[in-house]
Amino acid sequence: MSKEVFEKIISGDRKTFEHVFKRYFKGMYFYALNFGLDKDTSREVVQSTFVKIWERRQYLSPHSEFENYLFASLRNNCLLSLREKKNKLELEELRENDKNLIQQEENTFESISQFNELSKTYHSSLAEMPDQMRKVFIMSREGGLTYKEIGRKLNITVNTVETHIRRALKKLKNDLKDFLPILLFLLNI
């Protein structure tokens, strides 16, 4: 994403803004979630990051790539939002973290720019699972059912459920191995 994009947005080009929004929303939301913010707060933070940029566009200067500016704004907003919820003691800790964060900045931003690729790989991995394994995995993750409940529903033993889950996680870890360094950086936040 070039400086040109930045200039277009400053001049009020809504189409370009929409394009950027749709391209990065999921990745930015993912970033906020990984920051430890809850779902509603994460959505709000991403939304308000875009709103603020749009409202202040006349005062911006296109000194860098728009992506960098966008992601750095998001990071600041995530930090602010996190601070609101923490007490002073934890704030000290956060300040320490800030230093690390700035060093890791570029790496953590990869989780945003590569999110669409990551999501595709994750879902391809789900598709490739034997259907029973996938069913068990989805029931457990998205349905929030216990192993016992899944076993009863599918008429299989709790042991079999455990085996399916373990194999599913192993497959996912293997299929997503190229993205694991991103997870490492995120864990260091």
Partner 1 sequence: MSTKENSNQSSKNWQDANIASISDADFNAWLDNINEASSVNVNDEWNKLNASIETERPIANGRNIALWIARIAAIIIFAFTSYTTIIYFSTKKEVNYHELSLKNGQQAQLSLPDGSKVWLYANSTIRYPDQFNDGIRAVELTGEAFFVVKHQKTNTPFQVKAGKLTVEVLGTRFNVSAYKNSENIETALISGKVKLSIPEKNGLKSITMKPSEGAIFNTSTGKIQRKQINSSYYLARKEGKLIFDKTPLPEVFKQLERNYGIRIIYNHLAFKDRTFKANFAIDEDINQVFNIMQKALDLKIERKEKVISIKQQ
CB atoms within 10 A of CB 116: 13
d(CA 157, CA 162): 9
Q: Which of residues 4, 18, 90, 92 is near partner 1 by CB under 8 A? A: 18
134 is a contact residue toward partner 1 (CB under 8 A):
yes
Binding mask 53-92 for partner 1 (x = CB under 8 A): -xx-------------------------------------
33 is a contact residue toward partner 1 (CB under 8 A):
yes
Long-range own/partner contacts, residues 22-29 (CB < 8 A, 24 or more apart): 23/116, 24/67, 24/70, 24/112, 24/113, 24/115, 26/115, 26/116, 26/119, 27/111, 27/112, 27/113, 27/114, 27/115, 27/116, 28/70, 28/71, 28/74, 28/112
21 is a contact residue toward partner 1 (CB under 8 A):
yes
Shortest distance, position 128 Cβ to partner 1, whole Å: 5
| Beta carbon nearer to partner 1, 95 or 116 | 116
142 is a contact residue toward partner 1 (CB under 8 A):
yes
Shortest distance, position 187 Cβ to partner 1, whole Å: 6
* Token pair of 140 as six digits: 């457990």
- Residues 6+ away with beta carbon under 8 Å from 40: none
| Beta carbon nearer to partner 1, 79 or 182 | 182
Contact region with partner 1 (CB under 8 A), list: 80-88, 93-101, 116-124, 145-153: 116-124
* Token pair of 58 as six digits: 């006349």
146 is a contact residue toward partner 1 (CB under 8 A):
no
Q: Which of residues 101, 115, 150, 161 is near partner 1 by CB under 8 A? A: 115
> Letter for the amino acid at 57?
R
| Beta carbon nearer to partner 1, 80 or 184 | 184
